[in-house]
Structure 1
Amino acid sequence: MKPKKLFILLFSISFLTVGCFEDLDDNPVSTTDLNDFVWKGLNAYYVYKDDVPNLANNRFNDSEYDTFINSFSSPEACFESLLYQRQTIDRFSWITDNYIELQQQLNGTTYNNGMEFGLVRFSSTSSEVFGYIRYVLPNTDAESKGLQRGMIFHAIDGVSINVSNYINLLSPNNYTINLATYNDNGTPETDDDSIDPINQSVNLSKAPYTENPIFISEVLQVANQNVGYLMYNGFTRDFDTQLNDNFNYFKSQNIQNLVLDLRYNSGGSVNTAILLSSMITGQFTGQVFNTNQWNSEIQAQLDPSDLINNFTDNDDGSTLNSLNLGKVYILTSLSTASASELVINCLNPYINVVQIGTTTTGKYQASITLYDSPDFSSSDVNPIHTYAMQPLVLKTLNSVGNTDYIDGLEPDFTAKENYGNLGVLGNPEETLLAIALQHILENGRISLPPYSSQEIVGDSKDFTLTKNRMYVD
Structure 2
Amino acid sequence: MKKYCFLFLGLSVLLMSCSDDDGIENGPTPDPDPTADVAAQNFMWQAMNLWYFWQGDVPDLADDRFASNAEYTAFLESYPDPRNFYFSICNDHERIVGEDAAIDRFSFENEDYNVLVNSLSGISQSNGVEFGLGIIGESNDVFGFVQYIWPDSDASTKDISRGEFFTRVDGVQLTVSNYISLLYGENSSYTLGMATVENGVISDSSKEVSLTKIENQIENPILVAETLDVNGTKVAYLMYNRFLSSFDEDLNAAFAKFKADGATELVLDVRYNSGGSVNTSRLLASMIYGTNTSDVYVKQRWNDKVQAQLEEEFLTDYFANTTGESAINTLNLNRVFVLATNDSASASELVMNGLDPYMEVIHIGEVTSGKNEFSITLVDDPGNSFVYSSNRENRINPNNSWGLQPLVGRNENADGFSDYTSGLAPDIALSEDLTDLGILGDANEPLLARALQEISGGSAKIDFTVEMPAESFTSSRLHTPMKDNMYLDKPLKFNK
* TM-score scaled by length of structure 2: 0.86
Partners of 2:12 and 2:118 within 8 A in 1: no
Q: 1:446 to 1:392 in 2, by over 3 A?
A: farther
Alignment of 1:369-380 (within 5 A): 369-373=377-381, 374-375=383-384, 376-377=386-387, 378=389, 379=392, 380=395
Q: 1:255 to 1:12 in 2, by over 3 A?
A: closer
Matching residue within 442, 448, 454 for 1:439:
454
Partners of 2:291 and 2:328 within 8 A in 1: no
Match of 1:4 in 2: 3
> Taking every aligned residue pair, what percent have the same amino acid on both sides?
40
Q: Which moved more, 1:41-50 or 1:402-411?
A: 402-411
Alignment of 1:255-404 (within 5 A): 255-282=263-290, 284-316=292-324, 318-373=326-381, 374-375=383-384, 376-377=386-387, 378=389, 379=392, 380-404=395-419
Q: Secondary structure at the match of 2:443?
A: coil
Match of 2:205 in 1: 198
Aligned length: 450
Match of 2:61 in 1: 55
Q: Which moved more, 1:201-210 or 1:439-448?
A: 439-448
Q: Distance in 2 between matches of 1:210 and 1:453?
A: 30
Deviations 1:346-376 (CA, angstroms, capped at 9, x unpaired)? 1111100011111111100000000111221
Alignment of 1:142-291 (within 5 A): 142-172=155-185, 173-184=188-199, 193-208=200-215, 209-282=217-290, 284-291=292-299
Partners of 2:119 and 2:482 within 8 A in 1: yes
* TM-score scaled by length of structure 1: 0.90
Q: Which amino acid aligns with 1:237?
A: S
Q: Distance in 1 between matches of 2:373 and 2:478?
A: 18
Q: 1:450 to 1:127 in 2, by over 3 A?
A: farther
Match of 1:410 in 2: 425
Q: Distance in 2 between matches of 1:412 and 1:129?
A: 31
Q: Which moved more, 1:241-250 or 1:436-445?
A: 436-445
Q: Secondary structure at the match of 2:438?
A: coil
What root-mean-square deviation, in Å, do the aligned CA atoms of Structure 1 and Structure 2 show? 2.2
Matching residue within 110, 116, 120 for 2:134:
120
Partners of 2:240 and 2:273 within 8 A in 1: yes
Match of 1:428 in 2: 443
Matching residue within 443, 453, 457 for 2:473:
457
Q: Distance in 2 between matches of 1:409 and 1:355?
A: 9
Q: Distance in 1 between matches of 2:461 and 2:69?
A: 66
Q: 1:174 to 1:14 in 2, by over 3 A?
A: closer
2:119 is the counterpart of 1:105: yes
Q: Secondary structure at the match of 2:450?
A: helix
Q: Secondary structure at the match of 1:371?
A: coil
Deviation, 1:115, is 0.9
Matching residue within 65, 76, 95 for 1:69:
76
Deviations 1:191-234 (CA, angstroms, capped at 9, x unpaired)? xx111211111121101211110111000111011100000000
Q: 1:9 to 1:30 in 2, by over 3 A?
A: farther
Q: 1:365 to 1:445 in 2, by over 3 A?
A: farther
Q: Which runs of 5+ in 2 are unaligned?
A: 15-34, 95-101, 490-496
Deviation, 1:82, is 0.2
Q: Secondary structure at the match of 2:474?
A: strand
Q: Secondary structure at the match of 1:92?
A: coil
Q: Distance in 1 between matches of 2:471 and 2:400?
A: 40
Deviation, 1:68, is 1.1
Deviations 1:256-285 (CA, angstroms, capped at 9, x unpaired)? 100010011110000000000001011543
Q: Secondary structure at the match of 2:308?
A: helix
2:47 is the counterpart of 1:41: yes
Q: Secondary structure at the match of 1:456?
A: coil
Partners of 1:439 and 1:445 within 8 A in 2: no
Match of 1:190 in 2: none
Q: 1:12 to 1:35 in 2, by over 3 A?
A: farther
Q: Which amino acid aligns with 2:441?
A: G
Runs of 4 or more consecutive aligned structure 1 residues displaced over 4 Å after TM superposition: 9-14, 443-448, 451-454
Partners of 1:212 and 1:239 within 8 A in 2: yes
Q: Distance in 1 between matches of 2:272 and 2:298?
A: 23
2:152 is the counterpart of 1:132: no
Partners of 1:266 and 1:467 within 8 A in 2: yes
Q: 1:317 to 1:109 in 2, by over 3 A?
A: closer
